[in-house]
Structure 1
């Protein structure tokens, strides 16, 4: 049986995103999330798929668990993987989530006491064409709170690299300074955050 044409695949993935989107929890549900100093947060995870230069099929799926607030490495998992799903803008999760889920499942099977209380994901969350990026997708399927951390601005939902946006970036002075990414609807979908005093 041959693979469906790209248009059919996009419709199928849009339908799946819409179905899973209904399960996204946007409110803080854990006590540590409501604490100003994150009291009770002990384990944070990070996931990423790193590609071999010049190769968009073979990659390394990585999961790291750190203690919090000391940020000591408690667990590492790296696996070389071969991606089979095509890259289509707005549907990155269908390429990457299966491998990131497998890494979390290996952790659950081998060292369940190290399961993270929150996972930082290299990709967007609500700040997405359909408010369901990679971080949301992984969060719904794993049942873990996930935060999307993107390096580049996705120009969607009325957010653009406008003069106003550039001036907001220029106004960031210190590590921790931020401003909201607000959709045309008025909903805040994310934040621009300055990492350090010298890096924006």
Structure 2
């Protein structure tokens, strides 16, 4: 069992988050974002870092790029990596971002024409303890528009999975319906989105970087064939295949770091 992280490291990471948080842009910056049908958007990316439950060191860093609006896979990058940073709740980005950023940089070097115009991140953006989750961290460091999409509700800043929240979910009648995730301060940190008519369970969408929450929700819905947006769904499928065939395989459940923590 690894030793608990020191207070100095937590303070260092909090300071770094606060510094980078100032660079987050929570509004639309690209022409395609302002188009009703996202005209000009041709490539959407998805990233995730997955591991085999019970193994805190070896993980699979994944990047996929899909065409838009057809959502066909154009590019896949799958690498087994060794994690060095400890897991601390609220600081997942320091554990994952370096490997996801490396995947984007490899794509930029090897096939720059396939560089995604927006990246979906399996996790949260400004819907976070300090309004700087993984999608924000990756967005600021990569300079790319990023959207955070989480499958589970992070109970933070006055947002709780209570009766009111459940009744709001029940009121979502069709794919595309959403309601705001409002902090105790009154700020909207993201939205719960019913992403598909097929599923009544919402996903939780928040701004990562260089996109507004309204556009992020609209884009997420447009990329959903099922509950989870296709860039994230495809990256999860690829990760499962890679982990099952890697030398690190073992008969344990494959899961995402942010879900299993």
- TM-score, normalization: structure 1? 0.92
- Give the C-alpha shift of residue 171 in structure 1: 1.2
Separation in structure 1 between the aligned mates of residue 29 and residue 13 of structure 2, nearest angstrom: 28
Distance 1:10 1:31, change over 3 A: same
Aligned to 2:40: 40
- Give the C-alpha shift of residue 3 in structure 1: 10
After superposition, the C-alpha distances for 1:92-148 in whole angstroms (9 at most, x for unaligned) are 000000000000000000000111010000110000000000000000000000000
- Give the C-alpha shift of residue 163 in structure 1: 1.0
1:173 aligns with 2:180: no
Separation in structure 2 between the aligned mates of residue 6 and residue 154 of structure 1, nearest angstrom: 24
- Give the C-alpha shift of residue 36 in structure 1: 1.3
Separation in structure 2 between the aligned mates of residue 53 and residue 6 of structure 1, nearest angstrom: 24
Separation in structure 1 between the aligned mates of residue 152 and residue 2 of structure 2, nearest angstrom: 35
Q: Which region of structure 1 is more displaced relative to structure 2, 171-180 or 85-94?
A: 171-180
Separation in structure 2 between the aligned mates of residue 35 and residue 15 of structure 1, nearest angstrom: 37
Distance 1:168 1:5, change over 3 A: closer
Contact 2:182/2:188, CA 8 A, preserved across alignment: yes
Separation in structure 1 between the aligned mates of residue 107 and residue 133 of structure 2, nearest angstrom: 23
- Give the C-alpha shift of residue 53 in structure 1: 2.6
Aligned partner of residue 9 in structure 2, secondary structure: helix
Separation in structure 2 between the aligned mates of residue 73 and residue 155 of structure 1, nearest angstrom: 33
Say how many residue pairs are matched: 191
Q: Which structure 1 residue ranges, 5 or more long, are not aligned? A: 192-200
1:78 aligns with 2:71: no
Aligned ranges for residues 119-198 of structure 1 at < 5 Å? 119-191=119-191
- Give the C-alpha shift of residue 4 in structure 1: 10
Q: Which region of structure 1 is more displaced relative to structure 2, 160-169 or 96-105?
A: 160-169
Aligned partner of residue 13 in structure 1, secondary structure: helix
- Give the C-alpha shift of residue 56 in structure 1: 2.1
Q: Which region of structure 1 is more displaced relative to structure 2, 157-166 or 51-60?
A: 51-60
Contact 2:5/2:88, CA 8 A, preserved across alignment: no
- Give the C-alpha shift of residue 2 in structure 1: 14
Separation in structure 2 between the aligned mates of residue 59 and residue 135 of structure 1, nearest angstrom: 19
Q: CA RMSD in A?
A: 2.2
Aligned partner of residue 158 in structure 2, secondary structure: coil
- The answer to which structure, 1 or 2, has the higher relative contact order (CA under 8 A, 6+ apart) is 2
- Give the C-alpha shift of residue 78 in structure 1: 0.2
Q: Which runs of 4+ in 1 moved over 6 A?
A: 1-4
Aligned partner of residue 77 in structure 2, secondary structure: strand
Q: Which structure 2 residue ranges, 5 or more long, are not aligned? A: 192-261
Separation in structure 1 between the aligned mates of residue 59 and residue 174 of structure 2, nearest angstrom: 34
Separation in structure 2 between the aligned mates of residue 67 and residue 130 of structure 1, nearest angstrom: 33
Contact 2:5/2:86, CA 8 A, preserved across alignment: no
Aligned to 1:194: none
Separation in structure 2 between the aligned mates of residue 55 and residue 10 of structure 1, nearest angstrom: 23
